[in-house]
A and B are shown apart, each in its own frame.
Chain A
Amino acid sequence: MSGVLAPVIEPGFFTSAPVHLALLIGGVVAVVSGVVGMFTVMRGQSYAGHALADLSVTGGSGSVLIGISPLWGFAGVSVAAAGIMDLIGVQRPRGRDLATGIVRGAGLGLAALLLYWDTTHTSATGTTITILFGSMFTIDASVIPVVIAFSLAAVIIVIALYRPLLLSSVSSDLAVVRGVRPRAAGTACLIAIALATSLSALTIGAILSTALLVGPAAAALRLTSRPGLVLAWSALIGLAATWLGILLAYDSYYWPPAGHGWPVSFFVVVLILVFYLLAQARPGSGRRPAPAEGQPGCSPDS
């Protein structure tokens, strides 16, 4: 068996401790992102997801400065930013992108200052790259409990609010009639997105975590329109992209230029993109007209 797979899987892949850890954490994060991502895409909040991911850069650079695990910074700042966005009205479809963008701009300005302090006060070189583009193979094992706790929190929010969120994503009027408070559901959803992006910021990097959040879910929504199946496909595509990405990155140590691995994040993003294009190229899809921009809720198969 191992002889057959040898050309595909380089020796040592299944015995290396960093790889085990990367597979474990990457897998958990991919599943959580896929699940939360479905609501992100259905509610048209890709931009909010992207902004929250970018804002976790601020948290990451701040946590380097005060010397705690970046994950706390990622999560703390992006949950706080979700609160601010909610406060200044990203729930309204009109002007929503503008409000999101302003929060993101101010947060990244702060990130610039914090990173500047990181490099001048702590002489930590390469901090920017690690925070922005992730470092799957250098994750510290001590973060596992925190990752699990945040993942559970995000998944519990989504499960608890599954029906109200689904209803208000598809038709907000109907949801109000059925007693759903769209504002509260939206806030909870934003917090779940913030948790999911801060988790994937740890694995594939802050500005690439949009990929795990949006890509698999968008591909899954192309494949089927049944919400339960979308969730399963989304989690599966995210998981496949992450694990294959880790495998390819491990193999790439022997690719040109030799002696230097290609980044995991690159492979994960490319694989997600390939999955999306494959899902789109499937016969019968892609003929529907694009929904109007800024439309708050669209049917799951649009």
Chain B
Amino acid sequence: MINTWIVATIVAVVAGAVGFFVVLRGSAFVADALPTGAFAGAAGASLIGVNTLLGLGVFSLLGALGIGWLGRRGRHDVAVALALVAMLGVGALFLSFTVEYGPEIDSLLFGEVLGISVNEIAPVAVLGAVCVLAILVLFRPLILSSVMPELGEARGVRAHWIETCFLVVLALATSMALPVVGALLIFSLMIGPPAAARSVTSRPLIAMGLAMLLAVVTVWVAIAVSYQTNWPIGFFVGTIGAACYAAGRGWTALRSRRLRRSQASALPPATPTASAVA
């Protein structure tokens, strides 16, 4: 059980950090597609009998590069959708070859609380450190190219290169988080807390910290309740993620109403992060 707490906390911190940029860049679809598609890698790994993490890593990296490649030559959302279904199609094939399925597949899709052994802590910790380090190194160019792509280009930030780096970081975060929260719900963890954090504060660093904090709280509550009720952890992560988002929306609505009431309509409703960068 203690292993689960450690791994889940690392996963939540990384999901909060990466998720902040997912929300900022509006790349929700990619953040959704990579984990779902990487699930096929886990199925493939169990078929040929190698480490699940390896299969996940290979597939999510392939997916990230595939999205980058297809996205350069066509509509972005179509590229993501096609890369996603390509990976899932292969996953369907792998699954049909695997003789025994059932609980294992369910836990890959929807998360597994007690399935974490001591040996899994080290790779997750290393991957998590790499992700956080990459985010910190890329922090300024990422913010710049997310908020003002033109200014970024002028300052020598290559939008395409940054996009690829970001996709690779997303792929790494995905493969470490997938065995814990499940393929279909990593995304809730990456989206709900950062969305709430962004509506509370407009300063990027504080918002990112708050996103991490909220993500950790989400995972802890989900694990505790899931342990008590024996219901799948994914249900709680999904519900709490949506609750975070709803709270953020409510907060924004409340604040804008109060602003309007205090006759402060002279202030333009500028995008929060733009002012923070400038």
Please give the residue numbers on chain A whose beta carbons come within 8 Å of chain B beta carbons, in ascending order: 41, 44, 46-47, 49-51, 54, 88, 94-95, 97-98, 100-113, 115-116, 119, 125-126, 128-129, 132-133, 205, 207-208, 210-211, 214-215, 218, 222, 257, 260-263, 265-266, 268-270, 272-273, 276, 280, 286, 290-291, 293-294, 298, 302
Contacts and interface: CB of A to CB of B under 8 A. Distances in A.
Contacts of A47: 28-29, 32, 77, 80-81
B88 A269 contact: yes
Interface stretch (B6-14, B97-105, B136-144, B200-208): B97-105
B82 A112 contact: no
Contact of B75 (A119, A126, A302): A302
Nearest to B94: A266
B96 interface: yes
A228 to B, nearest CB: 21
A109 B95 contact: no
What DSSP secondary structure best describes chain A's contact surface? helix
Contacts of A270: 86, 89
B184 A108 contact: yes
Contacts of B239: 106, 109-110
B231 A128 contact: no
A133 B72 CA distance: 29
A218 B234 contact: no
A203 to B, nearest CB: 13
A113 B77 contact: no
Band of interface residues on B: 35 or more
B20 interface: no
A92 to B, nearest CB: 12
B55 interface: no
22 contacts: A50-B33, A97-B27, A101-B187, A102-B188, A105-B187, A105-B242, A109-B185, A109-B234, A113-B231, A116-B232, A128-B106, A129-B101, A133-B92, A210-B84, A268-B89, A269-B85, A273-B85, A290-B72, A290-B75, A291-B75, A293-B27, A294-B26
B73 A280 contact: yes
B185 A129 contact: no
Interface in B50-102: 71-78, 80-82, 84-86, 88-90, 92-93, 95-97, 101-102
B102 A126 contact: yes
Contacts of B249: 88
Given A50-B32, A101-B32, A109 B238 contact: yes
Given A211-B89, A218-B78, A280-B73, A98 B242 contact: no
B171 interface: no
Given A108-B185, A290-B72, A214 B195 contact: no
